[in-house]
């Protein structure tokens, strides 16, 4: 015998809630996940944040845009709109694209750096996925001031570097010298002062932005020129006899060394004009200074001999007129 069962209203409500929960569970966990793409298109100010959101759920979901844990904008999937929360210049929504359920939010951060997060809010329906998170900093770079590219040795160099930024900042500077791939601290300020030396030609300026917790570096190289020259003293410009002993003081000077050699040369005059050329070669221990004439009777006298290390030659000449 079949007995008909007639549920009461309370039982009907319970059955309806169970069916609804099963349906929602199927929709929430079987449907395609929402798509959220965050693209920091440009570092610095103004910074463009491009957020593409594709909500797939039937239930309402919200997109929260935060700057340093402060809510900047709120987007709702059921109403397909975004609301600007903060009425200041830190964030501005300038375009929203609803094509095919895509919400693209362009946000400009104008006055402050910080941490941006883009995250879902599903309420009680399901756990939210990991949010997009990235840091925005000002457009900053190091600029060198009064830093020559070349200078003669032993001269003083006064150089400085400065962190250029659109943001208020607290910066710690360090200058490092690079010698044989090793670093040595030269200065704990933005200024670098040193006497030009061949050992000090490569430097590195390091600036630490304490506010943004970021380091900036810039290389600096300088070419050191050696200050060397030849001077001649007591060399006559005219002669009276065809055979005359010529006494010249040959002086070779450099910043790091000083040589003086007196070269005595005797010669026969066959032309009214001839030229004496003094040639020096910088050596490791001594200076070799030959004296050559441009006459047919070519004479050479070596003041000192040495094995040359650097093989750098310097010339000085004097023209002597024959008196008739």
Tracing tokens 């607290």 back to the chain, one arrives at 170
Measured distance CA(104)–CA(43) in Å, rounded: 19
Q: What pLDDT, on the 0 to 100 scale, is given for residue 187?
A: 92
Determine the pLDDT at residue 11: 59
Query: Residue 262: which of 237, 218, 242, 232 has the closest Cα?
Result: 232
Per-residue pLDDT of the chain (324 residues; tens, 9 = 90+): 545 555 566 655 655 555 555 444 444 443 445 555 565 544 444 455 566 666 555 456 677 777 777 777 777 766 656 666 655 434 444 445 544 455 555 544 444 556 667 776 665 555 555 667 766 555 678 889 999 998 887 788 999 999 887 665 689 999 999 888 788 899 999 999 998 877 788 999 999 888 777 888 999 999 888 766 555 555 655 555 544 555 555 555 554 444 444 444 444 444 555 555 555 544 433 444 444 444 433 333 333 333 333 344 445 555 555 544
Q: Give the pLDDT score at 220.
A: 94
> Quick one: pLDDT at residue 300?
37
Provide the pLDDT for residue 276. 55
- Give residue 196's pLDDT: 85
What token pair was written down for 149? 């590219």
Residue 192 confidence (pLDDT): 94
pTM over 0.75: no
């Amino acid at each position: 015998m079949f007995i008909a069962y007639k549920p009461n209203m309370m039982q009907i409500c319970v059955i309806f809630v169970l069916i609804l929960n099963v349906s929602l569970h199927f929709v929430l966990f079987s449907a395609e996940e929402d798509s959220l793409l965050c693209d920091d298109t440009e570092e610095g100010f103004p910074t463009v944040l491009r957020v593409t959101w594709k909500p797939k759920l039937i239930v309402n979901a919200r997109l929260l845009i935060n700057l340093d844990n402060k809510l900047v904008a709120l987007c709702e999937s059921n109403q397909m709109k975004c609301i600007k929360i903060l009425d200041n210049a830190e964030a501005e929504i300038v375009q929203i694209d609803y094509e095919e359920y895509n919400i693209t939010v362009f946000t400009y951060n104008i006055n402050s750096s910080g941490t941006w997060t883009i995250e879902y809010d599903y309420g009680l329906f399901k756990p939210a996925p990991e949010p997009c998170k990235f840091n925005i900093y000002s457009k900053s770079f190091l600029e060198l001031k009064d830093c020559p590219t070349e200078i003669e040795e032993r001269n003083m160099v006064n150089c400085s570097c400065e962190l250029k930024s659109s943001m208020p900042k607290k910066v710690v500077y360090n200058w490092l010298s690079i010698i044989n791939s090793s670093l040595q601290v030269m200065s704990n300020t933005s200024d670098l002062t040193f006497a030009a030396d061949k050992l000090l030609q490569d430097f590195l300026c390091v600036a630490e932005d304490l506010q943004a917790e970021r380091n900036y570096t810039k290389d600096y190289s300088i070419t050191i020129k050696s200050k060397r020259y030849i001077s001649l003293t007591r060399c006559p410009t005219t002669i009276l006899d065809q055979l005359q002993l010529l006494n010249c003081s040959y002086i070779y000077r450099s910043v790091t060394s000083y040589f003086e050699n007196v070269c005595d040369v005797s010669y026969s005059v066959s032309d009214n004009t001839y030229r004496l050329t003094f040639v020096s070669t910088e050596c490791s221990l001594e200076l070799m200074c030959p004296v050559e004439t441009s006459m047919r009777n070519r004479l050479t006298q070596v003041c000192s001999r040495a094995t040359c290390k650097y093989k750098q030659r310097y010339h000085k000449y004097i023209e002597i007129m024959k008196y008739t």
